[in-house]
Structure 1
C-alpha cells in the first residue's frame, strides 16, 4: 500500500473533522476512535493502533491478525518513518 493510499485509508476510517493523527510507514496510526474495513490491533496504549487490511493477511484468526499487527507496529517503532500527519489543533 502506498503512503498516499495509507493516509487515504486512515482519513476514511477516522470520524470527526477535529481529530489529529499520525500514520507510520507500516500502517500504525495514533488516535483512531472507530475502525473501518480490516482490523485494528492495539497494545498497551489505547491511542496507538495498527491497521491490518483484509488484503494483507490470509489467516483472519485473532492470533494471526494480532501477531501481524504487532509485527508492523514494531517495525514502525524502530524505523520511525512518518508518512502523514493530520494536525487539527486550533492555531
Structure 2
C-alpha cells in the first residue's frame, strides 16, 4: 500500500483516487461535469448551451454548496455499483458529493452518517470552491493534458 503524502490525513483520499471514483460513479451518458476538491461535482445535461462550464459550476456551487443550519435540507444517499462508496445528493439539481468508505470511521455506517459527512464536504466546496477537474464532451485538450 502506498504511503499518503505527509500533508494528507489518513481518512482523506487523493485527488487521483477521487477523480477515479467520481468517473465510475457518473452514468456515461453524462460527459459534461465539474469536480471540486472535496468531492462535490456538478453534472451538466445541457452543456452545449453553456459556453463556460467553469464559471457556471462556480456560480452553482456558491449558490447551492454552503450548508446553513437554519435551513434543514434533505439529502439522499446512493450506494455505488461501479465503485466503492456513496453519492450524497440534496438541494440543487445535478449536484452530488462522493463519499469514500475510508472517510467514514464506522465499519457499517448508516445513511445519516454518510449523508451528514457528504453535506460537510459539500459545504467546504461551497465556501471555498476549488475546481480540480473539468470534463467536457468534445472539449479540445490543451497540450499539457494530452
TM-score tier (shorter): 0.7 to 0.9
User: CA offset at residue 71 of structure 1?
Assistant: 0.3
RMSD: 2.3
Residues 1:48 and 2:95 aligned together = yes
From the CA coordinates, give the structure whose radius of gyration is larger.
Answer: 2
Matched residue, 1:20: 32
2:114 to 65, 74, 84: 65
Alpha-carbon distance between aligned partners in 2 of 1:45 and 1:52, rounded to the nearest angstrom: 18
State TM-score, norm by structure 2: 0.54
Alpha-carbon distance between aligned partners in 1 of 2:22 and 2:119, rounded to the nearest angstrom: 18
Greater strand share, structure number:
1
User: CA offset at residue 44 of structure 1?
Assistant: 1.2
Structure 2 unaligned blocks of 5 or more: 1-12, 45-77, 141-146
Summarize deviations over 1:62-84 as a string: whole Å, max 9, x none. Answer: 11111100000000001111111
Summarize deviations over 1:43-62 as a string: whole Å, max 9, x none. Answer: 11231000111111023111
Alpha-carbon distance between aligned partners in 2 of 1:37 and 1:31, rounded to the nearest angstrom: 20
Alpha-carbon distance between aligned partners in 1 of 2:43 and 2:30, rounded to the nearest angstrom: 12
Give the paired residue count.
90
Summarize deviations over 1:4-29 as a string: whole Å, max 9, x none. Answer: 22112212222326511111111111
Matched residue, 1:75: 124
Which aligned runs of 4 or more in structure 1 are off by greater than 6 angstroms? none
Question: In 2 relative to 1, CA 75–20 (structure 1 residues): closer, same or farther, beyond 3 Å?
Answer: same
Alpha-carbon distance between aligned partners in 2 of 1:17 and 1:64, rounded to the nearest angstrom: 30
